[in-house]
């Protein structure tokens, strides 16, 4: 199991072509089989890796916030939605929502979320490995291999388990 983010970035870069070949391989596999393996590995690695030792997702990814996310954070910060939007987010027309203006996340404190109870749905769901249809989200998975130790270890383990090179 690899948890050092600099090693994960380096290995992900080195394995980029292999990761894309494995993606092609997975696309032709049963989504039920791939989901079962991915979910099992996700449970394993998420129980062994404490996200707060890394918090790299909060440092390098911009989650998409919808109006409910904006409203919840605005209330938590005692701001109007308009004031919250002006101070913290930009409209993201491509994804039909908002993204934080800055990286790292403005609410990241000591490798944790200072407004954890009100964090956006995109943050709650990350790294999205618990969802079904893993095969349909492989581009995002590959992108997140260099960001998240859990994603990295799941994808590498899937290669070892399913791919007979």
DSSP collapsed to 3 states, 46-79? HHHCCHHHCCHHHHHCCCCECHHHHHHHHHHCCC
Q: What is the mean pLDDT of the chain?
A: 95
- Cα angle value 134/103/146 (rounded, 5°): 40
Find the mean pLDDT for residues 145-150: 97
Distance from C-alpha of 157 to C-alpha of 154, rounded to nearest angstrom: 5
Integer Cα distance of 156 and 100 in angstroms: 30
Q: Where are the alpha helices (DSSP H) in the chain?
A: 5-14, 16-27, 31-48, 56-60, 67-76, 81-88, 121-125, 138-145, 149-162
Do residues 37 and 161 make contact, with C-beta atoms less than 8 angstroms apart? yes
pLDDT category of residue 165 using cuts at 50, 70 and 90: low
Q: How does pLDDT run across 95-134, given as a tens digit for each residue?
A: 889 999 999 999 999 999 999 999 999 999 999 999 999 9
**Which residues have a Cβ under 8 Å from the Cβ of 156 and sit 6 or more positions away?**
2
In the chain, domain spans: 5-58+127-162, 63-104+114-124
Place of tokens 């997140």: 144
Which helix or strand (DSSP H or E) is residue 146 part of? none
Phi-psi region of 123 (alpha: psi -120 to 50; beta: other; left: phi over 0): alpha
Instruction: Specify the pTM.
Output: 0.92
């Amino acid at each position: 199991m690899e948890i050092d983010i600099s090693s994960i970035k380096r290995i992900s870069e080195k394995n980029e072509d292999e990761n894309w070949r494995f993606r092609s391989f997975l696309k032709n596999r049963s989504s039920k089989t791939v989901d079962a393996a991915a979910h099992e590995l996700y449970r394993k690695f998420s129980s062994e890796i404490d996200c707060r030792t890394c918090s790299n997702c909060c440092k390098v990814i911009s989650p998409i916030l919808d109006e409910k996310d904006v409203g919840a954070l605005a209330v938590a910060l005692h701001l109007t939605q308009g004031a919250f939007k002006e101070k913290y987010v930009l409209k993201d027309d491509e994804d039909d929502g908002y993204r934080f203006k800055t990286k790292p996340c403005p609410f990241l404190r000591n490798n944790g979320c200072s407004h954890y109870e009100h964090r956006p749905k995109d943050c709650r769901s990350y790294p999205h490995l618990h969802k079904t249809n893993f095969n349909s989200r492989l581009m995002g998975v590959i992108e997140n291999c260099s960001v998240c130790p859990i994603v990295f270890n799941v994808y590498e383990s899937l290669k070892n388990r399913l791919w007979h090179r």
